[in-house]
Structure 1
Amino acid sequence: MSLRINDIAPDFTAETTDGPISFHDWIGDGWAIMFSHPKDFTPVCTTELGAAAGMAEEFAKRNCKLIGISVDTVEDHQKWKSDISAVTGNAVSYPMIADTDLKVAKLYDMLPAEVEGVSAGRTAADNQTVRTVFFVGPDKRIKMYMAYPMTTGRNFPELLRILDSMQLTLAHKVATPADWQPGDDVIITPAVSDEDATAKFGAFDKKLPYLRVTKQPA
């Protein structure tokens, strides 16, 4: 199964460091970011989990839960959390999924469905495609996904910026331009007429017939 933006995020049950969860129920009525890892005790992933922990409050302010997933056991996850805290200074308080049967990795198209066996005996290189970030909205649909190679650490400030953009653009009929940062001007979507744009946003700058820029809505 190939997943795309606006597809329903596949639901699943799994064991985590916080106990068993049903993914859709765990998300509730907010947002979630699920980021996957090919193996516990790997160097880049250690820094990423710590970086996410350090920004957990910022995601929480935006009603977005964090959840990590790796193919190893809950017991290994708990041991790994000590390393993460020691290296990064940030304690992992969000749950980490133990995908020992590779079920979630296959369900989210991070590993081929025909892969056999369980996580035991597999290396990080075997699981190198389990390196994807998924944003899931309150409607349980995939809003964004991004895959990273094992040697490139994820940029969590950028993921927070993406979340800000998605929440803003879903709340208002706007889009965000290249390199947008919160507070910058935004683009009025083509679906909004000039008349409606004036009524909704007030003044705007019509740079091109199809490119109209206005102040970010509050």
Structure 2
Amino acid sequence: MKKYSTIIFDLFDTIVNFNFNHLPAIDLKGLRSRTTSIEVFEVFRQYYPEVEFEEFYDPFIESYHEFLEIKSIEFKEFPNRDRYILMLNKMGLEPIDQKNSLIDKMVLAHMNGLASCVELPKENKRTLEYIKSREYRMGIVSNFDYAPTAYALLDKFEITNLFEEIVISGEVGWRKPKDIIFQVAMNKLNIKPGEALFVGDNYNADVAGSKALGIDAAWINRKNQSEAERDPKPDY
């Protein structure tokens, strides 16, 4: 194995995992979903008590998918609050004096719901501590549109101090696989691409993205996807 000075990790579904069974379930239009919509609606109805959940839910989902599509094409990151601004616009609601307060509270409700689903497997923490004990430098590059929640989770699981640099797309304005976000990490760590190994679960974002900049990549292929037609191929 090539000698690296630095190992950089993706965060979600690499270091920590989502368990959406912790979210409340709703039955709507014949489908059962686990979603943060209930928590967000509880905040929303304090400002617009006349709106029913069914009127709220479609714009809630549509705004999510519209931003997801834009992000996947342009690799540009948008603050999570932009999604809720779009949602309110879709609902045709007149601005109110406290609209900014409502948006911020909806963001927090959504993020608190997501955070409640995040788990750190014990073996992952042990692995990180072992890597640190071998005197590797470590960093994180994560696609996440609300950095405070990412930092709070690292603090909650008591692993913040393992990483020299933490780069979150919500602060950079660009998402993996965009080269800019990887370059930000390289600059912060003051290393060259050949000195680092990137570890992540998403082929396009983590493997193709890092290798485009000359960083070796280890793919955590949880879904056992075929590597046969992948180009570039992961190094590990």
TM > 0.5? no
The two structures have a TM-score, normalised by structure 2, of: 0.29
Larger helix fraction of residues: 2
Q: Which fold has the larger relative contact order, with Cα–Cα distance below 8 Å and residues 6 or more apart in sequence?
A: 2
Larger strand fraction of residues: 1
